[in-house]
A and B are shown apart, each in its own frame.
Chain A
């Protein structure tokens, strides 16, 4: 007897798909690796971020918007099923600019996205506007971009709620399962780990950086690589920042999270004082009062990056029923993964909107 669906990867992507499928009535097994995994879901910054996603790929911009729109439904469903409040807030998001040059490139990016993907209400705020909107900004903030549909959530509560909600629907979670092999045939998959095996008609590879090696077992291509980000967290502070921003956010509990670096350093998950100093210095320029705040926690984590930074979704041509799913925005896209991708996977076909996310885009012959 098998499952309707096996999801390999118990992070935010796998967790959202597994719960989304279970919510449609499917029997689901969620296989998670364990503490040797890189676990991007545990290092996430927690943005539900739309404004700058998908320049050069309108399908991604639209997919991100879909997710932001579905997020309230996801948060409400998880709260109802588990009692966990994932602290979704969608008050709009700001990206601060510290120089005229940054303003120019930000403005150009948003104009390009507006032309490519349509209007989502994003606008450029000049110095006077942004300082009027956000108290406590430093003099060096010369402006910002503002998008009314950006937001944030607590990524750790989200992960816990997805797992809890899956279990409550009768889904099964198997931690500590490093997959050794997958026996694949169309619409029939047996996932092996030591003497254990799990069988299902459908399979999703959503194993983050582990997907690279797992995907070929079902004739999928997931050429993902790590990109390190470091995050600093302050002591809990009285609320002072009502908006999400792309590098600083205040959590529902009052902690301030500061990020984010983008470092191509392979699988090295260490923190470094030079990067943390840069992150702190930039954010003290934005909010000078933060110079007195104590940092209580820091970490580094590895983003899961495709060659162009956009998600990969694909059904295996050789082994229909096997699907690839990966992205570096596991929080932002959780709404879409749970409520749009999971039903499509169960239906057995990815609709036209997913065509742009096929990894075949990485294999266009050079002219």
Chain B
């Protein structure tokens, strides 16, 4: 769905639901995932409907993911870093 204009290889690796994602320095998690062909990053709390990043500027909260064990992180506002463990946000976040 998305294609990078600059095709130089990425420098960062992180995992998304166990899949290795290669990202560029400075990518947000949402950008890296969209570029890697991952479209739906979460399932909604009530109906379980799939959602994709939409606004890419921190407003819509449709790009929520779990990062290193913490739920409901905004993928579009979080810079991708080496070794991150990112998972789909499936339903509501769990705190207990």
B45 to A, closest residue via Cβ = A236
Bound form: Cα–Cα A236–B70 in Å: 14
A82 to B72, CA, bound (A): 34
User: Are B92 and A238 in touch, CB under 8 angstroms?
Assistant: yes
Q: CB < 8 Å: which of A235, A240, A253 contacts B96?
A: A240
CB-defined contacts of B46 to chain A, threshold 8 Å: 253
A237 near B70: Cβ-Cβ < 8 Å: no
Nearest Cβ on chain B to A134's Cβ, whole angstroms: 10
A293 to B71, CA, bound (A): 9
In the complex the two chains form, is B95's CB within 8 Å of A289's CB?
Answer: yes
List of A residues within 8 angstroms of B95 by Cβ: 237-238, 240, 289-290, 292-293
State the CA gap A238–B71 with chains docked (Å): 11
One digit per residue, 1 when the CB lies within 8 angstroms of any chain B CB and 0 when it does not, for chain A 237-255 equals 1101000000000000110
The reply on A135 being an interface residue by CB < 8 A is: yes
Interface residues on A, range: 10 to 19
Interface pair A238/B72, CB less than 8 Å apart: no
Q: Nearest Cβ in chain B — how far from A239, in angstroms?
A: 8
Q: Mark B53-96, 1 if CB is under 8 A from A, else 0.
A: 00000000000000000101000000000000000000111111
A238 in contact with B94 (CB, 8 Å):
yes
Whether B96 lies near A254 (C-beta < 8 A) is no
Verify B70–A238 contact, CB threshold 8 A: no
Given A253-B46, A254-B45, A235–B94 Cβ distance below 8 Å?
A: no
Q: Binary interface profile of B, 19-33, with partner A (CB < 8 Å = 1, else 0)?
A: 000000000000000
A95 to B95, CA, bound (A): 21
Least distance between B71 CB and chain A CB atoms (Å)? 9
Q: Does A96 contact B (CB under 8 A)?
A: no
Q: Is A136 an interface residue (CB 8 A)?
A: yes
Q: How far is the CA of A237 from the CA of B94 in the complex (A)?
A: 6
Interface flag for A294 (CB, 8 Å): yes
Q: With A and B bound together, what is the CA distance between A255 and B93 in angstroms?
A: 10
Measured in the bound complex, the distance between the Cα atoms of B94 and A292 in whole Å is 10
CB distance from A292 to the nearest CB of B (A): 6
CA distance A287 to B95 in the complex (A): 10
A292 to B69: give the CA distance in the assembly, Å: 11
- The residues of A with any CB-CB pair to B shorter than 8 Å are 135-136, 235-238, 240, 253-254, 287, 289-290, 292-294
Q: What are 11 A-to-B residue pairs whose CB atoms are below 8 Å?
A: A235-B72, A235-B92, A236-B92, A236-B93, A237-B96, A238-B92, A240-B96, A254-B45, A254-B92, A287-B96, A289-B96
Q: A253-B46, A254-B45, A287-B96 are in contact. List 8 more A-B contacts (CB 8 A).
A: A235-B72, A235-B93, A237-B92, A238-B96, A240-B94, A240-B96, A289-B95, A292-B70
Q: Which 10 A-B pairs have the closest CB atoms?
A: A240-B96, A238-B94, A289-B95, A136-B96, A254-B92, A236-B92, A236-B45, A289-B96, A238-B92, A237-B92
